Structure 1
Amino acid sequence: MTSIAIDGGQSALRLRVLPAGRVGRGPGYVHGPTSIDHLLAAIGTAAAAAGVAGPVEVVALGLTGFPPVRPVADGLAARVAGVLDAGEVRMTQDMVTAHAGALADGYGVVVAAGTGLVSLAVDRDGSWHKVDGHGYLFGDAGSAFAIGRAGLVAVQRARDGRGPATKLADVTLDPVTLYRSTTLVDDVARFAPEVLRCAAEGDPVAGDLVVRAAQDIAETIGAAVATLAGQDAVPVACVGGLFAGAGEQLLSPVRAALTPRAQLVKAAGTSLDGAERLATSPPGPYADLIVTHRRS
């Protein structure tokens, strides 16, 4: 019987058919009153691209924008079951699938950084703590959105003469035009690679922004590590598109700012791998973080 794993992020939704391994993609999360309808349409698009046909045994999905109200989450899980003709849906936050994919034994801290940023700490007794992931207005410190926004602020300051000159201001983009965009958060986050590029080329303004982002990420990691019992070293995996794109340019200053207990390790897998783990294995330490719907 077919199962499905889904990683629903802000920039894209990815779906993997199990055990065949076929992958389909759909558009990412959209903020607003139509976000659930948009998500269901994205799942349908990705399923069609992956050649999903016939009933599905289990669907496991980790979502940006996971509904915080339990009845809403239950309703969404039921609708996902309807879209995919699934007997069982296991739905959770994207930070959980990131953790499940990155740390094989389920212990430690994962920082998932893409458009947004969230950290999940899971202790050996199964207790868990979320740090940040508060969204682009009130959190996500060190995320691609945060870096992109800081870069665009630097552009405007330089053009106004209120701030230092920077190569960032050489872009043709007028940041003010982004106010009209229906994908504002994603558009701003897409400026982060330009900040990283200019920093790598020696631009001091961009370089300072990267260091500040690294310090914010290290602060989040430190807060997550502090929630775990004992004084032993804690494995910390940094996953997501931001780290994949920046590599050591970002990881090196993060590492330099970490508390002694935090030990960066290579992630065992991706968020999509984590969703596959939840689709094919018992929930383990993540049981309290999963909403399950079974069709009668």
Structure 2
Amino acid sequence: MTEVLGLDGGGTKTIAVVARQDASIAQVVRGGGINPFDGDAWIGRFSELLGRIRKPVAAAALGLPGYGEDVRLTAMQDARVMDLPHGLATTVNDVELACFGAFAGGAGILLLAGTGSMAWRRGVDGQSARVGGWGSLFGDEGSAYWIGRQALALLSRGLDRRANVPARDMMALLGLLGGRAGDEPARVLLGWYASLTAPRQQVARLAEGIDGLARQGHITARDLMDAAAEQLATHLRVLMAEQSMPWSYGGSVFRSIGVRDRLENEFGPAVPPRLPPVGGGVLKAALSAGWVVDDPWIERLSGNLAAEGII
């Protein structure tokens, strides 16, 4: 077998990549979120995605959301991995895999802010430490879900005058929910709420629109994105205080130039990720398979993933 598999699972989406020994891409498989903390629907999604992988591979490395955080759920994840046509399989937390990819196996701190949020440090000795990642119920500060929820809470307070939100900003936020001029604001908000089928993911999707409003000069949206950046900064402060080292980023929130600028002003320039999370899986699997991997190989893999729209 001359192919390996990397898989990056998340709360909103999952992607698997089968790569050849020359770092070319043999197969890309995409699916929905597989976070076991979001309910049992992940089981079917995960099994269906694994079933689309065409043939056995020499080695596999999977980053799974919530892996290692609960004994029962981790055992369920391990059972699903056994369905995979693989040789040697390595399973780790999804943020650990993202950190491995960002620094191509080297030392550094990855700050991840997608649907959820967490910071992961890989030391020069290979030892790991993490901050955050406690989930949407009482954590994930600065994440896309957190931004969306903060916006919805502020919108509701503005509607009944518990908060002073400029009318222009209120209309803009309602617009993200499908509201139009002349619509009754409370009906827009509650109608959107009633239509939710995947609440965590749909709330998280609001963050991109909120960042867009911030770029257009909406004060409320700008304040929300600034607050998210401050929450994410607390993650880095803890890990940097213990051991200063390069930092990188991942996740949809870092599409926001404002968030990245705010963090770089405090912690210095971020190191662009050398590989996306699923690329970290391919790299880890390649090493497990005993392949010769060097910097040119990593660069070829990065370019081939980018050509598939994976960055």
TM-score range, shorter chain: 0.7 to 0.9
8 Å contact kept, 2:107–2:124: yes
**TM alignment of 1:1-296, pairs within 5 A:** 1=1, 2-19=3-20, 20-21=24-25, 22-30=27-35, 31-35=37-41, 37-44=43-50, 48=52, 52-70=53-71, 73-74=74-75, 76-82=77-83, 84-163=84-163, 164-165=165-166, 166=169, 167-171=172-176, 172=179, 173-174=188-189, 177-178=192-193, 181-228=196-243, 233-243=244-254, 245-246=255-256, 248-256=257-265, 258-259=266-267, 263-282=269-288
Corresponding residue for 2:309? none
Q: Give ranges in structure 1 of 5+ residues lacking alignment.
A: 284-296
8 Å contact kept, 2:113–2:251: yes
> What SS does the corresponding residue of 1:139 show, helix, strand or coil?
coil
Q: Give ranges in structure 2 of 5+ residues lacking alignment.
A: 180-187, 290-311
The count of residues paired between Structure 1 and Structure 2 equals 268
**TM-score normalized by structure 1?**
0.82
| Whole-angstrom distance in 1 between the partners of 2:241 and 2:94 | 22
Going from structure 1 to structure 2, the CA distance change for 1:32 and 1:145 (only over 3 Å counts) comes to closer
Going from structure 1 to structure 2, the CA distance change for 1:187 and 1:72 (only over 3 Å counts) comes to closer
8 Å contact kept, 1:121–1:225: no
Offset of 1:207 from its aligned partner?
0.8
Offset of 1:153 from its aligned partner?
1.5
> What SS does the corresponding residue of 2:280 show, helix, strand or coil?
helix
| Whole-angstrom distance in 2 between the partners of 1:100 and 1:41 | 25
Cα-Cα RMSD: 2.3
| Whole-angstrom distance in 1 between the partners of 2:5 and 2:139 | 31
**TM-score normalized by structure 2?**
0.78
Report the residue type matching 2:196 in the other structure: S
Could you tell which deviates more after superposition, 269-278 or 99-108?
99-108
| Whole-angstrom distance in 2 between the partners of 1:13 and 1:37 | 13
| Whole-angstrom distance in 1 between the partners of 2:39 and 2:159 | 36
> What SS does the corresponding residue of 1:110 show, helix, strand or coil?
strand
8 Å contact kept, 2:47–2:80: no
